[in-house]
Amino acid sequence: MSDFSNPVLAFDSALAGCTVAVLKGGEAHVRVLETSREQAAKLMPMVQDVMAEAKVAFADLGLIVTTVGPGSFTGLRISLSAARSLGLALDLPVQGVGTFEIMARSAVPERQPCIVVLETKRTDYYVQVFDADKSPQSDPVCMEEDELRTMIAQRVGYILCGDALGRLGTEGRALMLPDPEILARAGLAQFIANGMKAERPEPVYLRGADVSLSTKPQRIIADRP
C-alpha cells in the first residue's frame, strides 16, 4: 500500500448538478447540489465551502480528481477546466475517472453487474455495462430506446441504474449525481495503482456539442478607408 496521506479534492459537474468531496485522514466531507444551471458559478464556491469545513487549504492538497464524461458538454468542460486550472496553479496531479464507472459504483455498491443509463437530452441514451466488480463489459455508447430495451432484456440479473430511468420508464436504481466520496476514493486508488502518476485528463465525448447555425442574415460591414 502507498503512504500517500495528503488531502484529496474531488468534484464533478458533468451531469445535472455539482458534487464536491475532500478526503482528509480517511474522513470525507461532501456537498451535493442538483442543478442544470449556473454550474460554473456554483462549483468553486462549493469547493471552498467543503475545504473550509475540512480545514484544508489549497496548499495542503496532494491530488485533484474529476470525472471525464460522458455527460453534458458544458458541464463536463466546467469541471475539467476547473481541475486542470487548479492542477496547474498548485502544481498538483489531476486524475480523471469515467462518469459511467462512478455512477455504477455509486448506485450499485454491492457485487452486482449493472447497466448504467445516462441522459443525453435527446431521443437516445448514454449506456455502458459493468460486471459485478464494476469493470466495464462494453464500451460507452449512444443507444436508441428500442436497441437499449433489447439489450436490457438480454441481460437478466443486471441492475439498471443512472439518471435516465425516469425518461426510460423502467425500474432500477435512479441516481441523478455520482457520489463525490466514491469519486475521490476511486480517483485516489487509480492514481496510486499507476505509481502516483496521472496523465492529463481528456474529456470523453460520445457526440459533438449541440450547436446550430444562425438563420439570421449576415450583416456585411464595408471596410473603412
The pLDDT confidence band at residue 36, using thresholds 50, 70 and 90, is confident
What average pLDDT does range 55-71 have in this prediction?
97
pLDDT of residue 118: 97
Strands in 35-184 per DSSP E: 63-67, 94-97, 114-119, 125-130, 141-143, 159-162, 173-174
- Residues forming a β-bridge with 128: 116
Q: Which has the closest alpha carbon to 178: 77, 41, 50, 30? A: 30
Over residues 65-123, the pLDDT tens digits come to: 999 999 999 999 999 999 999 999 999 999 999 999 999 999 999 999 999 999 998 99
pLDDT at 217: 53
Domains along the chain with CATH numbers: 8-100+177-193 (3.30.420.40), 108-174 (3.30.420.200)
pLDDT given at position 212: 42
DSSP 58: G
Residue 76 phi, psi (nearest 5): -65, -40
| Model pTM score | 0.89
Find residue 161's DSSP bridge partners: 116, 173
pLDDT tens sequence across 95-106: 999 999 999 999
Q: What is the pLDDT of residue 191?
A: 96
Q: Which residue has the cell 474531488?
A: 10
Work out the pLDDT band at 15, boundaries 50, 70, 90: very high
Give the model confidence (pLDDT) of 185-223 as tens digits: 999 999 999 999 998 899 999 875 544 444 455 444 444
Distance CA 72, CA 28 (A): 26
Query: What pLDDT is attached to residue 221?
Result: 44
Model confidence band, residue 126 (pLDDT cutoffs 50, 70, 90): very high
What's the confidence (pLDDT) of residue 211? 41
Mean pLDDT, residues 21-31 taken together? 96
Q: What is the pLDDT of residue 2?
A: 59
